[in-house]
Amino acid sequence: MPNKISNISVDCVVFGYDTITKSLNVLLIKRYLESKEKEVLVDDYVLTGYHVYEDETLDDSATRVLKELTGLTNQYKKQFKAFGDPDRLLSEKDLIWIDKEAFSLRTITIAYYFLLKTEDVDVTRNKYQAKWFPLRSLPELGFDHKKIIEEAHEDLKTKCLAEPIIFELLPDKFTINDVQDLYESILGIEIDNRNFRRKLINKKYIIPLDEKQVGVSKKPAQLYMFSKDIYKKMYHKNYLISI
């Protein structure tokens, strides 16, 4: 029997990277609800998301959600998957949380991920009690948001091998080792530093600056920047068959 209508929302997996702790993080908001008797019913975390407005594209909707959460627009954004299993919001906790009236239907969510520079956002200054969590040690997550994050991570793994999106997660001025550490965090692998360094430095779009790290207690590293313009001019895409 066809079900002709559904709820539509977007959910946003917001990735950030902490160069100090070398941790790839996800921005989550608290899901907190008490009953009349002051008993805590749900106390876990979820992705930010919201219903899609009537006159809004899906992309605009995701952008709006990110702006409300972080104040940022113009971040790297990718729609990576729609989640719509009929039972995806049917756990006991989730039924308490959601508006049962409106949600008697299935809810389909169009999931996006965003890449942003952690330095650009002050998470203490938003109404959602948003908090960064390392991807490696996520808290308990509501709905099917653990799965959504995992799939975002998988897509990010593939994507960062083919396009230079990794620089969306780094400060404008970074060291070679920052880039390597971030690749290692995303991909979960170890990379030989000497080979990686040579490979990266040889790219014309990796520009050495007249600056070094300050405030480090070892030999300060050379800082670099990424030139998107030069990258684009080099006529990517690479048609390298790597099967």
Which positions lie near a second copy, rule CB under 8 A?
A: 1-8, 50-58, 79, 81-86, 102, 105-106, 108, 110, 158, 161-164, 166, 183, 187, 189, 199, 203, 231, 236, 238-243
Q: Which does 131 bind (CB under 5 to 8 A by kind): a second copy, DNA, none?
A: none
Closest approach of a second copy to the CB of residue 220, in Å: 26
The smaller minimum CB distance to a second copy, of residues 2 and 215, is found at 2
In the complex, least distance from residue 173 CB atom to DNA, rounded to whole angstroms:
12
Q: How far is the CB of 34 from a second copy (least distance, A)?
A: 25
Min dist CB 43 to a second copy, Å, is 26
- Cβ proximity to a second copy: between 84 and 134 the closer is 84
Which residues here bind DNA, judged by CB under 7 A? 175-177, 192-195, 197-199, 201-202, 212, 216-222, 240
Task: Determine which helix (DSSP H) or strand (DSSP E) holds 181, and give its type and residue range.
Answer: helix 176-187
Q: Phi, psi (5° rounding) for residue 72?
A: -95, 145
| Separation between Cα atoms, residue 116 and residue 201, nearest integer Å | 23
Residue in the block written with tokens 């360094």: 197
* Strand, coil or helix: 216: coil
Closest distance to a second copy from the beta carbon of 80 (Å) = 9
* CB neighbour list of residue 20: distance below 8 Å, 6 or more residues apart: none
**Residues 78, 162: Cα–Cα separation, whole Å:** 14
**Could you tell me if 117 and 170 are in contact, meaning their C-beta atoms sit under 8 angstroms apart?**
yes
Identify which of residues 162 and 201 has a Cβ nearer to DNA in the complex. Answer: 201
Instruction: Quote the DSSP letter at residue 59.
Output: H
Binding site partner of 86, from a second copy, DNA, none, Cβ cut-off 5-8 A by kind = a second copy
Cα 167 from Cα 117, distance rounded (Å): 9
